[in-house]
Amino acid sequence: MFRLDDKVAVITGGGSGIGKAIALLFAKQGAQVHILELSHEQANSTIEEINQMEGVAYAHACDVSNHAAVKNTFEQIGAINILVNNAGIAHIGKADTTSETDFDKIMLVNVKGVYNCISASIPQLRKKGGGSIINMASIAAWVGIADRFAYSTAKGAIMAMTLSVAKDYLSEHIRCNSISPARVHTPFVDGFIEKNYPDQQAEVFEKLSQSQPIGRMGKPEEVAALALFLASEEAAFITGSDYPIDGGFIKLNN
């Protein structure tokens, strides 16, 4: 079960964190993996690990916010079965403390970047007679997160975009679902804590962990396992759905 043999998967932001975990697992399960990152260097560690497991992987230097570059990259890759829109950036701020520049940057990467990849992937998915698109949303789309105005707004857009794509391409056998993680322990989290709380790293890490009712952050590998299911043939009856993977954050935090 959950094999991806003979499948071609594109994963944006596959060089680290959740994207890397997804790329490694998809390759392990037999997929040919294409990683889109800003530079080849950012994808190299993932590519090397996949090569060590005798998997097949390719890196593509591509800014997902650049429509022409994304279209060209997908045309170079050719026919695909799976797209995982994982690339994104974070931002801290409320509506009145978020600058126009920062707001535009979040929308450019986290919303337009997803649109660019979906738009470019549809012709390539058609060549395979359909496939699976997985968008990375967030619990922020469900409940909003304090001091995350632009980020929460963008993730809400991703959830709506997922529903729209799922409905528009039903007849073409293109499924579209989203995943909404709570806090996941990635190098980004460690870097954020180290930069902003250099003298309180252990305390802040514990506070962030305890914000999930289950008492810890998620693991990238746990999100990857959910993505694998949604990409697999075992999930062929699932489209237009969002899957929180949140340690009880949405339902139990009251």
Q: Which residues are tagged catalytic? A: 151
Q: Provide CB contacts within 8 A for 146, sequence distance 6+.
A: none
Amino acid present at 22: I
**First-to-final CA distance of the chain:** 37
> Contacts by 46-49 with C-beta closer than 8 Å and gap 24+?
46/14, 46/15, 46/16, 46/19, 46/20, 49/24
CA distance readout (Å), 94 to 147, 191, 193, 207: 5, 22, 20, 21
The CA-based dihedral angle spanning residues 201, 205, 211, 216, taken in that order and rounded to the nearest 10 degrees: -170
Q: What is the CA radius of gyration of the chain?
A: 18
